[in-house]
Amino acid sequence: MNNSANENLRELLAGFMDESAARQTAEDIEKGEEILGANQAPQPDERVLAEVKKNVVAALRRRRTVVFQRRILGAAVAAAIVVVSVLTLIRYGDQTNSQQTRVVAKSVSIPSRVWEGADDADVTVLKAEIDNIQSELSGAQSDDGGNTSTAVGDLETELIEINGDMWKG
């Protein structure tokens, strides 16, 4: 560690001035620091340090929660993409097997407790977007018209974009 105690002040000053000026300057600095040492600032109360520690622990727990929520969110978005992809394949592959489609689509549902207590704006915005997609997906599922495959394809694109945003932070 290169700190003040290991520093040769006179040698350092000699690079900028002659020897006698360096000696005088070093003495001014050392005496000045001695005066500072003899007139220390007041110490913080133990109560203050305890409060700081409390705030630090709270900040640490908040950070852990946010990291956890982001991981869960990432996993949920990835799972949703897989599910929508499978759903698309099923739609294209076997138009008549609607029962199977319904079962797979249900697994898109994301546990609500993941979001409880979320105070992160990004997480909240992404949650809203996922909720929106979930409701659109339910609508698409019950849609008997000929546009179902297109709607599911759009949803898949949207989910891929959200996932991209998510990993960009």
Which residues are at the interface with other proteins (CB under 8 A)?
1-7, 9, 12-13, 16, 25, 28-29, 31-33, 35-37, 39-44, 48-49, 51-53, 55-57, 59-60, 63-64
CB of 88 closer than 8 Å to CB of 141: no
Pick the closer one to other proteins by CB: 3 or 99: 3
Pick the closer one to other proteins by CB: 36 or 128: 36
Shortest approach of other proteins to residue 9 CB, angstroms? 8
Shortest approach of other proteins to residue 36 CB, angstroms? 5
Pick the closer one to other proteins by CB: 44 or 164: 44
Shortest approach of other proteins to residue 19 CB, angstroms? 16
* Burial degree of 42 (CB within 10 A; 0-12, 13-18, 19+): exposed
Q: How many CA atoms lie within 13 A of 161 on its CB side?
A: 9
Pick the closer one to other proteins by CB: 19 or 94: 19
Shortest approach of other proteins to residue 15 CB, angstroms? 8
Shortest approach of other proteins to residue 117 CB, angstroms? 19
CB of 160 closer than 8 Å to CB of 81: yes
Structure tokens at 67: 């990291």
| Residue 141: closest CA among 133, 131, 152 | 152
| Residue 82: closest CA among 21, 19, 163 | 163
Pick the closer one to other proteins by CB: 70 or 149: 70
Residue 56, number of CB atoms within 10 A of its CB: 10
Coil, strand or helix: which one is 36? helix
